[in-house]
């Protein structure tokens, strides 16, 4: 039986330059989608997949992320005094328990591969999940993208798994792209190729790496010796390619919609989509949104 996936890495050291000036003093991971920070949505997805421990790879000016996942005694007391027990329960349910988080710093912006390698000692010798927090995965299934991957991992009896989704031809140069090998069923296939940000017209398919991975610990040794690749950064994809010479890699076609919250458009669309999916506000929100769009249309005519 494949070893269980207990730990997850969340790289949160990025500067958020695509989202200035919002990200000058506030980490991009703390921008809110509806009523919770982007990073909270991703932690919720990890926990829904059975993750027990989250390793945040942080950087300078990101301390507020650590505070967000801690308990806030004054706030809890005040909510209790005011009888706001529903809010208190919700807050407690979302807080990570003692010893369930670790924080380590990347120190230098050397790329995703380097960020993952920074977590090597905390992960140790076991398979782990990796979730890129910019990418919000809104699943059609009940439990989210990582849960879909954990199911696939159980079915294949282990290996390395990468979530993929289809992107238009003119966007393949912005992502890691995989080649599709033998079909395993239920949207899972063997990966035949991987290339990080292929030049226009050279991508092996339209299947982009979406930012959710299950990886075996042997990746750390490869990352340690990895030379810089695309964008002069230590690329995770390059080390995965090396690992693929010895181990199986599977693509898991994500069943849902993806919003890149590191970009302005993706972030705005995530807010609309997540609000429309929330039973408590979707009715009035849809009403207001339709009215706004209609007024906007009239003004443009
Ligand atoms: C990273 C990965 C890339 C993946 C992308 C998803 O790139 O290297 O393979 O497709 O995340 O967002 P980055 O966005 O860090 O340039």
Cβ of residue 112 lying under 6 Å from some atom of ligand 1 = yes
Question: What is the rounded distance in angstroms from the CA atom of residue 160 to the CA atom of residue 219?
Answer: 10
Query: Between β-strands 188-196 and 249-253, what pairing exists: parallel, antiparallel or unpaired?
Result: antiparallel
Per-residue exposure over 91-129, b if at least 16 CB sit within 10 Å of its own CB, e if not: eeeebbeeeebbbbebeeebbbbbbbbbbbebbeeebbb
Show me where the domains of the chain are located.
7-262
Helix (H) or strand (E) holding 276: helix 264-276
Closest CA relative to residue 61, chosen from 7, 15, 11: 15
The pTM assigned to this predicted structure is: 0.95
As to burial, measured by CB atoms within 10 angstroms (0-12 exposed, 13-18 middle, 19+ buried), residue 281 is middle
Report CA-CA distances (Å) from 267 to 18, 41, 139, 264: 11, 13, 16, 5
Question: What is the rounded distance in angstroms from the CA atom of residue 117 to the CA atom of residue 181?
Answer: 28
What secondary structure letter does DSSP report for 132? -
CATH of domain 7-262: 3.90.550.10
Question: What is the rounded distance in angstroms from the CA atom of residue 172 to the CA atom of residue 152?
Answer: 25
Question: What is the rounded distance in angstroms from the CA atom of residue 67 to the CA atom of residue 207?
Answer: 36
Cβ of residue 229 lying under 6 Å from some atom of ligand 1 = no
pLDDT per residue rounded down to tens, the chain (301 residues): 788 999 999 999 988 888 899 999 999 999 999 999 999 999 999 999 999 999 999 998 899 999 999 988 899 999 999 999 998 998 888 888 899 999 999 998 899 999 999 999 999 999 999 999 999 999 987 789 999 999 999 999 999 999 999 999 999 999 999 999 999 999 999 999 999 999 999 999 999 999 999 999 999 999 998 888 878 899 999 999 999 999 999 999 998 999 999 989 999 999 999 999 999 999 999 999 999 999 999 998 8
Cβ of residue 132 lying under 6 Å from some atom of ligand 1 = yes
Instruction: Name the residue with the closest Cα to ligand 1, atom 8.
Output: 176
Contact 258, 137 (CB under 8 A): yes
Question: What is the rounded distance in angstroms from the CA atom of residue 282 to the CA atom of residue 162?
Answer: 32
Question: What is the rounded distance in angstroms from the CA atom of residue 177 to the CA atom of residue 2?
Answer: 26
Q: At what angle do helices 282-300 and 264-276 cross, to 10 degrees?
A: 130
- Strand extents, DSSP E, 243-293: 249-253, 256-260
Q: At what angle do helices 145-156 and 38-48 cross, to 10 degrees?
A: 30
Q: Is the peptide bond before 21 cis (omega within 30 degrees of 0)?
A: yes
CA of 48 to the centre of ligand 1 (A): 23
Instruction: Name the residue with the closest Cα to ligand 1, atom 15.
Output: 112
Question: What is the rounded distance in angstroms from the CA atom of residue 160 to the CA atom of residue 240?
Answer: 9
CA of 34 to the centre of ligand 1 (A): 25
């Amino acid at each position: 039986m494949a070893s269980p996936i207990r730990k997850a890495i969340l790289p949160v050291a990025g500067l958020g330059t695509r989202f200035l000036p919002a990200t000058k003093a506030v980490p991009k991971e703390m921008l809110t989608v509806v009523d919770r920070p982007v990073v909270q949505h991703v932690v919720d997805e990890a926990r829904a997949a059975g993750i027990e421990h989250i390793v945040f790879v942080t950087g300078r000016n990101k301390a507020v992320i650590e505070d967000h996942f801690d308990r806030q005694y004054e706030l809890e007391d005040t909510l209790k005094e005011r009888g706001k027990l529903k809010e208190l329960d919700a807050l407690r349910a979302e807080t990570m328990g003692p010893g369930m988080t670790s924080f380590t710093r990347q120190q230098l912006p050397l790329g995703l591969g380097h960020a993952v390698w920074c977590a090597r000692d905390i992960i140790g010798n076991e398979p782990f999940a990796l979730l890129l927090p910019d990418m919000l995965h809104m699943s059609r299934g009940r439990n989210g993208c990582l849960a879909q991957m954990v199911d696939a991992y159980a079915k294949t009896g282990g290996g390395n798994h990468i979530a993929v989704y289809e992107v238009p031809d003119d966007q393949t140069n912005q992502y890691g792209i995989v080649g599709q090998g033998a079909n395993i069923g239920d949207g899972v296939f063997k990966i035949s190729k991987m290339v990080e940000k292929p030049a226009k017209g050279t991508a092996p398919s339209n299947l982009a790496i979406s930012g959710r991975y299950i990886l075996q610990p042997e990746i750390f040794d490869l990352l340690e010796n990895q030379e810089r690749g695309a964008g002069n950064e230590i690329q995770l994809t390059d080390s995965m390619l090396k690992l693929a010479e010895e181990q199986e890699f599977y693509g898991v076609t994500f069943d849902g919609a993806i919003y890149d919250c590191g970009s302005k458009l993706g972030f705005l669309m995530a807010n609309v989509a997540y609000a429309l999916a929330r039973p408590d506000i979707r009715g009035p929100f849809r009403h207001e949104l339709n009215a706004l769009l209609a007024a906007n249309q009239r003004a443009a005519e």
